[in-house]
Amino acid sequence: MEHHWPARIAGAAAGLANGLFGGGGGMVFLPILSRWGRLDQRKLYATCVGVIFPVCLVSAAVYLFRGELSLLTALPYLLGGLAGGWIGGKLYGKISIRWLKWLFAAFLFYAGVKYLL
């Protein structure tokens, strides 16, 4: 059981980031899984999504119970996100790993700049 502590600590860090920022846990998980997960790139991205999903559910539940989540405001984004997630999952195997890395980096850069402005 001792060898699972780095993964548990990494999970706690990602959950903390997700809870504090309303997202972003995947940005913590991706480099951690890349280093410790010993997965090929395609499984790495898919595993990151699989791990972050329950973390997001927990954060959303806390926000909901605290009365800080507007379900009516979130609904159109959720519907679009579900459609986008399905399309992205279908396209996933058709896009090269190199392009996935560049797209991910570009998204992070764009989001960071928009956040600062």
Specify whether 76 is located in the same domain as 115: yes
- What residue type is assigned to position 80 of the chain? G
Specify whether 61 is located in the same domain as 88: no
Distance CA 70, CA 76 (A): 11
Specify whether 47 is located in the same domain as 99: no
State the alpha helices, DSSP H only, in 1-117. Answer: 5-21, 25-36, 41-65, 71-92, 97-116
**With pLDDT > 90 as the criterion, what percentage of the chain qualifies?**
21
pLDDT score at 82: 92
Specify whether 61 is located in the same domain as 103: no
pLDDT score at 2: 59
Q: What is the pTM of this model?
A: 0.70
Domain count, the chain: 2
Specify whether 55 is located in the same domain as 91: no
Specify whether 76 is located in the same domain as 101: yes
Q: What is the pLDDT of residues 31-83, one digit of tens each?
A: 888 887 778 888 888 888 888 888 888 888 998 999 999 989 988 998 999 99
Q: Which domain holds residue 60?
A: 1-69
